[in-house]
Amino acid sequence: MFKGRDFGRSVILLCVRWYLAYSLSLRNLEEMMAERGISVDHATVHRWVVRYAPELLERFNSRKPPVTSKWHVDETYIKVRG
């Protein structure tokens, strides 16, 4: 999946995750990576998001348990005013 990339797998996944999860701008991510000593351009981060976001979404959805039509509800008892 990450074969032939200049940056490591962890850097790419971190940038894509932060961009999607926390709605940061691409330039903010560029600055955050610079603070950590990693020089990456905002356009590169955008290419990573376009390339890897659909593939990561597909992998995450394949691991989620299927949703069924059965619901289990526990009964609760609340005493109001006495």
d(CA 28, CA 75): 48
**59 found inside a domain:** yes
Residue 71 located in a structural domain? no
Residue 4 forms part of a structural domain: no
Tens digit of pLDDT per residue, the chain (82 long)? 767 778 888 899 999 999 988 988 999 999 999 999 999 999 999 999 999 999 888 888 888 887 788 877 788 877 888 6
Residue 28 is predicted with a pLDDT of 94
The CA distance from 28 to 36, in Å, is 13
List all residues 6 or more positions away from 5 whose beta carbon is below 8 Å from its beta carbon.
Answer: 12
Domain total of the chain? 1
Decide: 33 and 15 in contact? Cβ < 8 Å: yes
* Per-residue pLDDT, 31: 95
Q: Domain of 54?
A: 9-63
Residue 41 included in any domain: yes
Question: Per the confidence metrics, is the pTM higher than 0.75?
Answer: no
C-alpha 3/C-alpha 27 separation (Å) is: 25
Under DSSP, the state recorded for 47 is H
